[in-house]
Chains A and B, each alone.
Chain A
Amino acid sequence: MVERAAKGAWVEIHGVVLPAGERAPQVPDDTQRLPLEMRVKGFLVAAAAVGDTAEIVTVAGRRLHGVLAAVNPAYDHGFGAPLAELLTIGQEVRALLREKGGVR
């Protein structure tokens, strides 16, 4: 089911700033083959479904159009799992300090 958002909802819209193939000349090939994409968040001006063209008002007061991409998008960046490569560093350097006369 397509997610719908009410007027005033906090959403993110997506748009293409420059299509693939129309990128700046200095851009390397791998980037040249891709569009320059943009994502901006704001308050939805009128009810819409994800995938619809929608209008938002940003916190700076700008009115922007784009494809409704996400409703109340989460901050889901984090740390991830602990890594064995980092877990033992502390023990190792503390052991070295003990050999040399201890942590001050």
Chain B
Amino acid sequence: MSDEQSYQAVMARRPEIMRQSIGLNYEQYATGALAFDYERLLGDTGYDIDRVREVQARTAVGNTPLVALENITALLRGLAAPGKGARIYLKDEAQNPSGSFKDRRASLSVHEARKRGYAGVAAATSGNYGAAVASQAAKAGLCCIIVQEAFDGRGVVQPEIAEKTRACEAYGAEVIRLSVGPELFYLYLRVLEETGYFNASLYTPYSILGIETLGAELAAQVKALTGCFPDAVVTTHAGGGNVTGTARGLVKAGAVESEMIAASVDLTGLHMASDHDFNRKSFTTGHTGFSMPFTTWPDRADVPRNAARALRYMDRFVTVTQGEVFYLTQVLAELEGLERGPAGNTSLAAAFAIAQTMEEDQIVVVQESEYTGAGKHPLAQLNLARKMGVEVRRGDPRDNLPGRRIVLPEHPAQVAVSDIDLDRVRRSYLRNAVAALREGARLEPVDLAFLAAETRMTQSYVEEVLDEMRGTQG
């Protein structure tokens, strides 16, 4: 390896590689030591929601059906107190061209790459997003390279990612499969530099604006069916794009009162960069291994300023266990005739529990589904889990222990959510923000206003927490 290709040398060239591969100068949006103009970053792309719809319609992305989950609603009403039990609808995003809502995110990036004359697009992703970028690139006539974290040190491939490799290759993309480790990003930078391709990052403004149509569509669909906007929307939460884009779309459709609930699979105790833990997670996305770090510091992403800023948009943040999600995946198949997921059913598991606490005349929307298939299925995940020494059994889901034990509920009444204390999340965000300050930099009023918007709190809350933190440090 030449010195120019060493880890340190490539990482040092990151800002320049990013500028070339996204064609966006993020520095122009800085307004303070930490603050930047988020709305202008999104607005300068020139895509309003009607324009996004137009671009997506060209590749048959979006306009997915909203399905009333009548049998699941009846089941949860049988468990709820009298008068309780909201009606559940599912936005069947699996019906997008590559099988998930990620087509919405990929569509604008690929459209933009083509418009600006890039020869190809690249993305660092082991999930549905890779298939989405590959599908969109195929239609646009662009080359495509997907970089995946795919197998552990023993060569054992995570089956869901194996399926994504196959799908990307089916769409004509080159897939680079790596073993476990965050240095995937280093290799990704090398690929961007070598090819000059567009970086179809999950965290650019294009990726987030592409999801706004999802929130707007589901708001309009619920309104048309029932005369009201949904009372709550439950979103599977990982990197933050799904929560951010959906919430923004809801607001644009006028559904300003809908409660935005973020739901993740609890993977507490498993390390995301650990080779040992890699094939013991049983979930490749929608889990706390992404959602906690990205909610408490979104700018850890592969772009200088992450356009996915979930803490600005969530009203509530809950977790469910692995076993509960697999359980609801099976219930969805057998009661509603919809074989979907499994990771996308995280929000379904959470909605199933939350709906029981809501009034019978209320409406909760499970905001996405994803395609299922070989590898991408509870059977594939649970068989792998057993092979890796993880116990799989029926029982009380509270006994679920990530990496050790997957417990599928014995009864649907055992399905529950755990609330994450948003105040702690906000404090953690503010700690990370202060740590990100350049040496000697001071927070100006513009930064305090920015932090208030970021945490969705008042400026005096921010000042109070910052004072407390200074006190603890002093």
Contacts and interface: CB of A to CB of B under 8 A. Distances in A.
B159 interface: yes
Q: Which of B165, B181, B183, B377 has the most CB of A within 10 A?
A: B181
A29 B330 CA distance: 37
A43 to B, nearest CB: 11
B220 interface: no
B123 to A, nearest CB: 13
Interface residues of B, number: 64
Contacts of B374: 75, 77-79
B70 interface: yes
B275 A34 contact: yes
Contact of B181 (A23, A80, A100, A101): A23
A35 interface: yes
A36 B183 CA distance: 8
Contacts of B412: 93, 96
Contacts of A78: 159, 374-375, 380
B175 A41 contact: yes
Contacts, number: 168
Given A89-B327, A90-B335, A77 B408 contact: no
A28 B274 contact: yes
Interface stretch (A1-9, A47-55, A57-65): A57-65
B166 interface: yes
Interface stretch (B71-79, B238-246, B249-257, B309-317): B71-79
A90 B328 CA distance: 10
Given A31-B180, A77-B163, A77-B380, A62 B275 contact: no
Contacts of B174: 40-42, 58-60, 62
A21 B182 CA distance: 15
A60 to B, nearest CB: 4
B194 A36 contact: no
Contacts of B145: 58, 60, 62
Contacts of B180: 31, 34
Interface string A23-45: 11011101100111111111000
Interface of A: 17-18, 22-24, 26-28, 30-31, 34-42, 58-62, 75, 77-83, 85-86, 89-90, 92-94, 96-97, 99-101, 103-104
27 contacts: A17-B186, A18-B181, A22-B7, A27-B183, A28-B274, A30-B276, A31-B181, A36-B178, A38-B177, A38-B178, A39-B177, A60-B173, A62-B145, A75-B374, A77-B375, A79-B374, A79-B375, A79-B383, A81-B379, A83-B378, A83-B383, A85-B393, A86-B378, A89-B408, A97-B335, A101-B74, A103-B74
Given A41-B175, A60-B144, 20 more contacts: A17-B187, A22-B7, A28-B273, A31-B181, A36-B179, A38-B187, A39-B176, A40-B174, A59-B174, A77-B375, A80-B379, A80-B383, A82-B379, A89-B330, A89-B334, A93-B334, A93-B412, A97-B335, A104-B70, A104-B74
